[in-house]
């Protein structure tokens, strides 16, 4: 088996990290055009920096749940056969024990120099006066992919999806591209595709198999079925 797993915000919801569509979540308190676009950062960099500092603090206080641990167990049981791609910028997969995580939308715990593109571990509280360790410029920004920017690692993602035999989407809405288009590519190449979600996504019809319920329940059960 060559298994590709795509995870979205729904896998981290039970850890206390809100999704885009939570009625009372962090995202609903801001205009996404102001805090999640290059134009928003150019207009008000302090607002964006404060927003991601709050998200980083929220992430630091969260813990991986049973779904994260189950995927780490799958990777350990099938070395070299599992590719884990996440839309999430949190580090819960890594803290659960997943050894190789492709973070297509960047990493909340990483800082990026807008000048030389150097990356380094973000401090708990980032400041606009922080200087890049490589070039010395004070052009620090969160190392996340904003709306209008190209996701990271697309070549590696395309290669994994093209050659997989099994594809799973966990906790995704099916509304954010290019991630939402990966299942169609996988199925077109002959992979068996399953959706594991709290409820049907916008693209549930594309999957041959579906399991619905809390991620902490359906993901460990699915992993068990693969390893039996």
What b/e readout covers 131-155, taking b as 16+ CB neighbours within 10 angstroms? ebeeeeeebbbbbbbbeeeebbeee
Place of tokens 């995704």: 172
Pairing of strands 192-197, 209-212: parallel
- d(C-alpha 14, C-alpha 60), whole Å: 15
Q: Could you tell me if residue 150 is left (phi over 0), alpha (psi between -120 and 50 degrees) or otherwise beta?
A: beta
Please give the structure tokens belonging to residue 141. 């920004």
- d(C-alpha 110, C-alpha 98), whole Å: 18
Strand order of the β-sheet with 101-103 is: 101-103, 82-86, 3-7, 166-170, 192-197, 209-212
User: Could you list the active site residues?
Assistant: 105
Q: Cα-atom radius of gyration of the chain, to the nearest Å?
A: 18
């Amino acid at each position: 088996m060559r298994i590709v797993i795509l995870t979205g915000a729904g896998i981290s919801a039970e850890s206390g990290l809100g999704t885009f569509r939570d009625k009372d979540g962090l995202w609903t308190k801001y205009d996404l055009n102001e805090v999640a676009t290059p134009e928003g950062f150019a207009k008000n960099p302090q607002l964006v920096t404060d927003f991601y500092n709050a998200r980083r603090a929220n992430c630091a206080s969260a813990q991986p749940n049973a779904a994260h641990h189950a995927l780490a167990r799958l990777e350990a049981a099938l070395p070299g056969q599992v590719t884990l791609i996440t839309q999430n910028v949190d580090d819960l997969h890594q803290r659960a024990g997943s050894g190789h995580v492709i973070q297509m939308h960047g990493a909340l715990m990483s800082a990026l120099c807008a000048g030389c593109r150097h990356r380094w571990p973000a401090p708990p509280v980032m400041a606009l006066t922080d200087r890049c360790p490589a070039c010395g410029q004070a052009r620090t920004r969160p190392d996340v992919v904003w709306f209008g920017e190209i996701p990271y690692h697309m070549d590696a993602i395309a290669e994994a999806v093209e050659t997989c035999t099994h594809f799973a989407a966990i906790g995704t809405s099916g509304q954010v591209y290019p991630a939402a288009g990966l299942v169609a590519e996988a199925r077109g190449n002959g992979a068996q595709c399953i959706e594991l979600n709290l409820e049907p996504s916008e693209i549930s019809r594309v999957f041959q198999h579906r399991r619905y319920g809390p991620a902490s329940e359906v993901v460990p059960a699915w992993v068990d079925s693969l390893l039996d």
